[in-house]
Amino acid sequence: RGAFDRIRTLDGTLHAVLATDEARSLDLARKADRRLRAGERTPVLGLPIVLKDNLHWSGLPMTCGSRVLDGYVAPYDATVVRRLLEAGAIPIAKANLDEFAMGSSGEYSAFDPARNPWDPTRVPGGSSSGSVVAVAAGYAPLALGSDTGGSVRLPASFCNVTALRPTYGVLSRYGLTAMASSLDQVGPIAATATDLALAFGVMAGVDPMDSTSVELPHRERLADLRPLDLNGLRVGLPEEYFADGLEPGVRGLLDAALRVFEGQGARLVPVSLPHTRYAIDTYYLLCTSEVSSNLSRFDGVRYGLRSNSAASTLAGMISETRDEGLGPEVKRRILLGTFCLSRGYYDAFYLKALKARTLIAADFHAAFAQADILASPVSPGTAFPFGAKTDDPLAMYLADVFTVPTALAGLPCLSMPAGFTGGLPAGIQLIGPALSDVRLLEVARAFQ
Ligand code: GLN
């Protein structure tokens, strides 16, 4: 009930929430209460949680931040949602996002965009804008977002919370609306790594409904996260990530955070990820290609909106529906991706990008011979004012320079608060080898 009071008080300004079903959530709360009284314990029993509105929670509308899904009601639960419900977590709201998770600021939502609780004239970061704001503003201790190229880590950095992008496959994508399937991962968000680990442990593991899902080693350590002994830990600093363009205030916070690691006995070692400069191009070629294919399902026949225009042919109805229902960033990506995949350009763009992706992944592999984890900025700067980048898609894409390489490589990475500069928060990113998610969180725990 307290959570709903808080939403009523704050969300008129913050716009983090797109839908609630208060009666249903209160009913789930009563059930959790009965289980608690009966002596049952799970890591999330009775904990309120907010879900990004590209995750299916049956019975509630799901918009994906788009008009094209007007009227669509989720007919089933995503696997991650089902596992949380079974463990007694209480979903309380569906959260705002950039349309179909495409964006870095939250501004590409088809609805009033979410605002940064630290300064409501600034963006919260995206695309999991509402999920992160919900945690930062205290609506709920836990939230789920999704991270295709940085969408939980970037807003976490802008809003002073902790968010994990797991190793690709550790969290089932069944019931997460596909944006770019080879990159999409669900990402848990909380104030600290310890809290986030509670939800992560309950959700992780193989799911027969997602053939790319894998088992997470040491999952049992998540229910009671212990700090890792950092003595002798080699923390690699990718030289390409500490280059020009990093705001001095953010740089200062990173240096201070790295001194904390050193203070606990960690050793800082320089490493190089030489193909970093191709990461943004590679990501936006692969991402838009997959987007163009995945979003073809929104055709006015199967889901949500159907145009009322007087189109007299099926093709006319489909194109009117897509024209009315989809926003400018989504259309831009569908066009770019369709172009990349078309005959004559496929080899030059899509295939080339696949090869570059392999090189980027190999860079990380080589770096992990010299370092146990890597540390880096999350974004070159802090939260920017509304409108600062909406007219310049390239500037918006560049906010992701430090978050897309790990997504291309499928590696676990997290963003955790490093402090404030100029009155605004900024995070530090930690990156681990594949399937080292639990240890990565234990490193974060030692810092927090
Ligand atoms: N900002 C990136 C993009 O627009 C990442 C989005 C995401 O991770 N969902 O594609």
**Residue 391 has what pLDDT?**
87
Residues 268, 60: Cα–Cα separation, whole Å? 48
Please list every protein residue whose CB sits less than 6 Å from any atom of ligand 1: 101-104, 127, 146-151, 179, 287, 400
DSSP 226-285: -----TT-EEEEEGGGGSTTS-HHHHHHHHHHHHHHHHTT-EEEEE--GGGGGHHHHHHH
CA of residue 184 to ligand 1 center, whole Å: 9
Tens digit of each residue's pLDDT (9 = 90 or more) over 15-64: 999 999 999 999 999 999 999 999 999 999 999 999 999 999 999 999 99
Bond prior to 127 in cis (omega within 30° of 0): yes
Tens digit of each residue's pLDDT (9 = 90 or more) over 200-211: 999 999 999 999
The SS3 assignment for 57 reads coil
CATH topology of domain 2-224: Amidase signature (AS) enzymes (3.90.1300)
Nearest CA to ligand 1 atom 5: 149
**Residue 408 has what pLDDT?**
98
CA of residue 404 to ligand 1 center, whole Å: 8
Write down the residue that tokens 């191709």 correspond to: 278
Tens digit of each residue's pLDDT (9 = 90 or more) over 347-368: 999 999 999 999 999 999 999 9
Catalytic machinery residues: 52, 127, 151
